[in-house]
Copies of this chain bind each other. A is one copy, B any other.
Amino acid sequence: MESEQLFNRKGYYRNSYNSIASASSDEELLDGAGVVMDFHTSEDDNLLDGDATSPGSNYVMSNGGGVMSSTTHLLDFLEEPIPGVGTYDDFHTIDWVREKCKDRERHRKINAKKKESAWEFTKSLYDAWSGWLVVTLTGLASGALAGLIDIAADWLNDIKEGVCLNAMWFNHEQCCWGSNETTFAERDKCPQWKSWAGLILGQEEGPGSYIMNYFMYIYWALSFAFLAVLLVKVFAPYACGSGIPEIKTILSGFIIRGYLGKWTLLIKTVTLVLAVASGLSLGKEGPLVHVACCCGNIFSYLFPKYSKNEAKKREVLSAASAAGVSVAFGAPIGGVLFSLEEVSYYFPLKTLWRSFFAALVAAFVLRSINPFGNSRLVLFYVEYHTPWYLFELIPFILLGVFGGLWGAFFIKANIAWCRRRKSTRFGKYPILEVIFVAAITAVVAFPNPYTRQNTSELIKELFTDCGPLESSQLCQYRSQMNGSKAFVDASPNKPAGPGVYAAIWQLCLALIFKIIMTIFTFGLKVPAGLFIPSMAIGAIAGRIVGIAVEQLAYYHHDWLVFREWCEVGTDCITPGLYAMVGAAACLGGVTRMTVSLVVIVFELTGGLEYIVPLMAAVMTSKWVGDAFGREGIYESHIRLNGYPFLDAKEEFTHTTLAREVMRPRRSDPPLAVLTQDDLTVEELQGIINETSYNGFPVIVSKESQRLVGFALRRDITIAIENARRKQEGILLTSRVYFTQHAPTLPADSPRPLKLRSILDMSPFTVTDHTPMEIVVDIFRKLGLRQCLVTHNGRLLGIITKKDILRHMAQMANQDPDNIMFN
C-alpha cells in the first residue's frame, strides 16, 4: 500500500506546491525520506500510512544536484488552496513562522518556474529585485516628503509673523535673500518682509503693532491647530500622535488595518505641517518615521512578494523607519541603528543592508532638495573645533542626571494625563483640547523670543558656538581684547555681557514653559513627535550649565581643575557642546535609546571626539531614568493603549512554569479540542460558535489526548463554507476528518469532509515543566501566536501570546485586563 502513496508533504502552509527538492546522489538522503518507525508499535497506522513516503516511484531524477520534480497528482480537489486561508483579521497577531514558510514556498515556486520561459525568468528577476526596488522607492518618497514638509512648515511658521510682499510663497529668509539693502547684521530685516502689524497698521514699531503682531500670532496658531485636528478627526484618526508606539506594535507582528494607508499618509503629511506651524510644543521627527512607514507600506503593494506576506512587509517597514529617522536627523547610520534598537522586532541581516540603503537614498534626496539652504540634512548641524577636558565629564554627567529625571518625570506625568484623558469625559472633546492647548502655548510663547521661534531654530542657536559672526543675544560677551587678536575658529572665554544674563533668564522661563507644555501636548489628536521638544529642553538646560561653567572657569581660573586645563585667554569651555550633550541626555531619558541616539548625535556633529561626553550623559540618563521605571515613553504608550507587544528588551525573570500560565486554569471549563476523525460538521460548528478561541488543538482521541495538530478558527470557518459551496453532499451530519484517509463510516452516512489541508501538523509544543522564561524566549524569538502544553506526550493546555502578556502584567502587579486586542 505504501508504494501507491504520493510523496505528499502537507502542513497547512504547504497547501499546494510542486515538490522541488535538490536531490543528492547520496542514497542516504532518500533513505532518510522514507522513515520506518519499526521500534514504534503504532496503534494508528492509518495515520502514518498517508505520510510514509516511497522514494523513486514517480520522480524524474536528475542526478548530481539537479532538480527533482514530482508530478504531484492531487488526491482530491480540496487540496487546492482555499481562498482566504492564511490571511489575518484586523487587530490580530501574525504567525511569523507561517509567514516565513509561505515566503520560502513562493520563492521555491518562482525558482522552479524560472527556467520554463523567458517571461518566467523575467518575473523571477523582478521578484529578486523587488526588495531593492521597494526600499529605493520608499527612500525616494520619504526623502521627498521630508523635504516638502520642511519647506512647507518653515513657510507656514513664518506666516504667523508676517508675509513676503514680493512673493507670498517665500518664507522670511528666502524673502530677504533677494534684498540687496540688508547688511549682514540685519539679515533678518528687509523691506520686502512685512510683519502683520506693518501690513495692517502700517507701522513696524510701537506697542500697537506689538499687540497686533501678538494677536495675529495667536490667530494663525489657533487656525493651524484647528485645521490640523479637524483634518485628523474627520479623515484619518490614525494620523495623530507620533506613531512610533503603533509602528513598534505593527512590526512586532500585529495587524492594524489602515494605520499605514494612503489616507493616513496624506493627512499626516498635511496636518504635520500645520501642527508644527501652529507653534505647539511638538516635533516632526517621530511623525516622519510614520510617514516613511506609510510610504513603505504603500509601495510594498506594488510587489506581490511583500503585499501578500505580512512578515516580508515588516522587513520593508523596518527599512522605512530607518529612512524616516535618516531624514529626520540627517543620520543614515543612526537611522539604521534606531530601526534595529528601537522599533524593529525581526531584523535579519538582509534587512540591515536594505535599511541602510533606504536611509542613504532618503538622505540624498533630502540633501538634493536642500530645504534649509545649508547643504545639510538638518537645521541644527554643527561642527565644533575645540576639544573637551576630562573635568567636564562632571557637568556632562550632571546633565545626564537631569535628562534621566526629566525623562522619568515626563513619562509618569504624560501617561497619567493620557490615562485621565482616556478614562474621563475630557477625552471626548479632542478639538477643544487642541485649541485650548494651542491658545495657551501661543499666548505664553510670543513674549519670549526663545519660545516664539521655531523649536528647531532654537536648538540650532543653542548648539552653535559663539563665533565672531554670531549676532545672537546669547553671544553678547564683553569683549576684552578688542581687536588685539583675530580668532576665526576659537574665541577665548570671555565674561558674559548683559545680553547673556538676559538670555539666561529667558531661557529659564522657556525651559519651564517647554516642560509643562510638552507634557500636555504629547497625546493630543494631532501629529506630534517629542524628539524636538525633548532635545530643546535638554539644550536649554545644557546651554545654561555650559555658560555657568564657562563663567566659573573665567572668574576662577586659579581653581585646581581650571588651572590644569584652562589657560587664561584660551577657549576651553564650549557652551554649545553642553547644549548638545543636554539634548542627547533628555532625549535618552524619554526614549531610553542608547547606541542609536549617540550615533544620531554623532552624525550631527561629525566628530568622533564628542562621543565620550555623549555616551557618559546618555548612559547616566538611562540609568537614572531606569531607576524610576524601566519603560521608555513608547513602551508606556503601548501599554497604555493595551497593544499586544512582547518587548524583546525586557527580561522575564520569574520562576513560573508553563503549566501555571497555560489555559485552562483549574476553574475553567476543559480545553476546547477537536478529535481527528469523529466530529460532524454540526458538532464542529457548535464548538466554533460556543467558543471564541482563535484556534483548536486536534487530538487523536479524547481518551489518549495525544496531539495531532492545530487548526485555526478562521481557516476552519472558511474551509467549511468553501466546502459547502463547492463540494456536493456535504451536510451538517457529514463527518469531518483531519487524517489522511477517511474513517470507515456506515454505508448510509453522508460524504465526509476532509480538512487536513488546513491542519498545522507542526504546532509548537512545550512540556508543562518548561520554565516560563524559556517559553517567553521561544515566543519572542520565533514570533509565535500560540504554543501547546503537553505532559508526557499528552495535551494539557495552550499558551497564547495574550496569556503571556497577561501573566507578565500580573507578575509586575499591573492590571492584566489591560491587554485589549487579540
Contact = CB atoms under 8 A, between A and B. Distances in A.
A761 interface: yes
A670 B792 CA distance: 20
A656 B21 contact: yes
Contact of A653 (B31, B104, B700): B104
B37 A796 contact: yes
Given A9-B655, A661-B32, A771-B101, A793 B794 contact: yes
Contacts of A792: 44, 47, 700, 706-708
Interface string A626-667: 000000000000000000000011010111111111101111
Contacts of A28: 665, 810, 816
A653 B653 CA distance: 36
A380 interface: no
Contacts of A603: 608
Interface string A356-394: 110010011000000000000000000000000000000
Nearest to A652: B104
A100 B777 contact: yes
A580 to B, nearest CB: 17
Interface string A744-771: 0000000000000000011101111111
Contact of A782 (B25, B35, B48, B778): B778
Contacts of A778: 782
Contact of A40 (B611, B661, B796): B796
A252 to B, nearest CB: 15
A504 interface: no
Contacts of A796: 35, 37, 40
A678 interface: no
B29 A349 contact: no
Contacts of A353: 594-595
Contacts of A768: 35, 51
A516 to B, nearest CB: 32
Interface string A603-628: 10010100110010000000000000
Interface string A91-117: 000000100110010011000000000
Interface string A10-46: 1100100101111011101101111111111110100
A350 to B, nearest CB: 8
Contact of A657 (B9, B42, B651): B9
A357 B667 CA distance: 51
A352, A667, A700, A767: most-surrounded residue (chain B CB, <10 A) = A767
B360 A615 contact: yes
B665 A810 contact: no
Contact of A655 (B21, B36, B38, B65): B21
Interface of A is mostly: mixed
B595 A356 contact: yes
B762 A774 contact: yes
Interface in A791-818: 791-797, 807, 810-813, 816
A167 to B, nearest CB: 31
Given A332-B608, A364-B612, A26 B810 contact: yes
Contacts of A771: 9, 11, 14, 101, 762
Contacts of A598: 356
Contact of A35 (B100, B101, B104, B660): B660
Given A21-B654, A767-B763, A39 B671 contact: yes
A811 B68 CA distance: 12
A773 interface: yes
A511 interface: no
A703 interface: yes
A25 B816 CA distance: 12
Nearest to A669: B39
Contacts of A14: 655, 771
Contact of A34 (B20, B666, B781, B797): B666
A704 interface: yes
A29 B810 contact: yes
Contacts of A47: 792
Contacts of A21: 654-656
Contacts of A363: 608
Nearest to A355: B595
A686 interface: no
Contacts of A765: 765, 767
B595 A24 contact: no
A705 B765 CA distance: 17
Nearest to A657: B9
Contacts of A19: 655
A101 B813 contact: no
A333 B599 contact: yes
A33 B656 CA distance: 8
A528 interface: no
A159 to B, nearest CB: 33
B791 A37 contact: yes
22 contacts: A22-B812, A24-B810, A29-B660, A29-B810, A31-B667, A35-B797, A39-B664, A39-B670, A51-B769, A104-B653, A108-B653, A108-B655, A349-B648, A352-B595, A356-B595, A356-B598, A360-B612, A603-B608, A707-B792, A761-B767, A762-B771, A781-B782
**Closest 6 pairs (CB-CB, A-B):** A706-B793, A39-B670, A762-B770, A793-B793, A761-B769, A781-B781
Given A22-B811, A40-B796, 18 more contacts: A14-B771, A21-B656, A32-B661, A32-B662, A35-B660, A35-B665, A333-B599, A336-B595, A340-B352, A341-B352, A353-B594, A356-B594, A706-B792, A706-B793, A761-B769, A762-B769, A763-B767, A781-B781
